[in-house]
Amino acid sequence: MRIIHAHIESCRNRDSILMSKAAANSRRRIPGAPVRKATNVTLPEPLLRQARELGVNLSQACERGLAATVAEVRAKQWLEANRAALQAWNEYVDKNSLPLAEFRQF
């Protein structure tokens, strides 16, 4: 049997060593940086081939696209949740004009 890591071979509980290594790696994380999680993504093969030919970082590209989609959905949700207030404000402005409009210099 080949010994790769003598300290692991001499240890009764190899899992405890591996867990302590994982804990050490988690401590090296930059404070405040988001925890990253591996996931699988299914992409059209031609698009994937082109991205690889161009040297596109798939993780970064997927992250940017997902972040943009999340922002778009949140904006739509915010607009829907505040639709009544926005409508009320627009009706107020139509009826009374803008508050302090007399002081505007443009």
Q: What does the alpha-carbon distance between residue 61 and residue 50 come to, in Å, rounded to a whole number?
A: 13
Confidence at 76, pLDDT banded by 50, 70, 90: very high
Q: What is the pLDDT of residue 60?
A: 95
Half-sphere exposure of 2 (CA within 13 A, CB side): 1
Q: Please compute the mean of the pLDDT values over residues 40-66 and round it to a whole number.
A: 96
Q: Please compute the mean of the pLDDT values over residues 55-63 and round it to a whole number.
A: 96
Q: Please name which of 51, 69, 71, 49 lies closest in space to residue 59, comparing C-alpha atoms.
A: 51
Q: What is the pLDDT of residue 32?
A: 85
Q: What is the pLDDT of residue 1?
A: 47
> What residue spans of 1-106 are helical by DSSP H?
6-9, 14-27, 45-53, 58-81, 83-96
Contact yes or no for 8/17 (Cβ under 8 A): yes
Confidence at 92, pLDDT banded by 50, 70, 90: very high
pTM above 0.85, yes or no: no
**Any idea which residue has 């002081």 for tokens?**
103
